[in-house]
């Protein structure tokens, strides 16, 4: 039991009527790391030691849209951290989803995974809402008229090779997707077959063919 309060019901073995199986108990009082509880089956009242979970505070550096800021997070002792994992980070401004990009160890150096006890700083990037860079080629194929734009989308937004998108005032057909280094679950770093799919938070850049009727007009 952790963080229980009086009036709650918990499952605990009763030393009077059920020493081997848990029964429902009502929490009467708490304090000093113990709770006084009463079995709802036989009404026997006894004390029960509360489980305590130690949390370690770690610095988190968050990258978002080319800028970064520092926050802190409480991680349960014994937790294994790994690059690519995501977690909710609560700051004064907002609650955001971030992905671990690097673990800086307290003895120096970096690691792809490590127990929280060995970690000094968690480097991450925000993935709830992300900016995706697009390289747009003109319809006519003139290489010197290729341009780059950036669109804002939810992190779970799907880009599909071969499909046409309308985002940020642009209309374009996806021709290829280059993935980020921390993207997992893909067979290769570049997707260019029709039907290949990637979610925005895994995308480094989208290569596409402009479909706007007004783009690169000579008039």
Q: At 75, which CATH number?
A: 2.40.30
Domain end among 127, 144, 179? 127
CATH number where 181 lies? 3.10.20
Considering the domain architecture, whether residues 101 and 61 belong to the same structural domain is answered as yes
Q: What is the pLDDT of residues 156-167, one digit of tens each?
A: 999 999 999 999
Query: How many distinct structural domains can be found in the chain?
Result: 3
Q: Both 114 and 62 in a single domain?
A: yes
Given this model, what pLDDT does residue 162 score? 97
Domain of residue 147, residue span: 130-210
Same domain, 66 and 97: yes
Closest to 51 in 3D by CA, of 36, 37, 74, 33? 33
Q: Do 154 and 115 share a structural domain?
A: no
Q: Under 8 Å CB-to-CB from 188, ≥6 apart: which residues?
A: none
Residue holding tokens 């800086």?
A: 104
For residue 207, the model assigns a pLDDT of 97
Same domain, 40 and 97: no
CB atoms within 10 A of CB 154: 13
Do you know the residue count of the chain?
A: 219
Q: DSSP string of 182-215? A: T--S-S-SEE-STT-EEEGGGEEEEEEEE--TTT
The pLDDT score that the predictor gives to residue 139 is 80
**Residue among 54, 99, 92, 53 nearest 201 (CA):** 99
Q: What's the pLDDT tens digit per position in 122-138?
A: 999 999 999 999 999 98
């Amino acid at each position: 039991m952790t963080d229980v309060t009086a009036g709650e019901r918990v499952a605990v073995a009763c030393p009077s009527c059920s020493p081997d199986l848990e029964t429902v108990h009502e929490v009467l009082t708490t304090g000093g790391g113990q709770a006084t509880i009463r079995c709802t089956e036989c009404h026997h009242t006894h004390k029960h030691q509360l489980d305590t979970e130690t949390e370690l505070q770690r610095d988190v550096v968050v990258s978002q849209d080319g800028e970064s800021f520092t926050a802190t997070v409480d991680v349960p002792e014994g937790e294994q951290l790994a690059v690519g994992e995501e977690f909710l980070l609560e700051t004064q401004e907002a609650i955001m989803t971030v992905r671990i990009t690097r673990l800086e160890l307290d003895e120096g150096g970096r690691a792809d995974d490590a127990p929280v006890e060995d970690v000094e700083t968690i480097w991450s990037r925000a993935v709830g809402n992300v900016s995706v860079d697009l390289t747009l080629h003109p319809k006519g194929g003139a290489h010197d008229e290729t341009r780059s734009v950036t669109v804002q989308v939810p992190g779970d937004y799907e880009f599909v090779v071969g499909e046409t998108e309308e985002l940020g005032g642009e209309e374009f057909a996806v021709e290829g997707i280059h993935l980020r280094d921390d993207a997992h679950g893909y067979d290769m770093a570049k997707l260019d077959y029709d039907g290949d799919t990637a979610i925005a938070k895994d995308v480094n850049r989208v290569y596409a063919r402009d479909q706007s009727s007004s783009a690169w007009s000579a008039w």
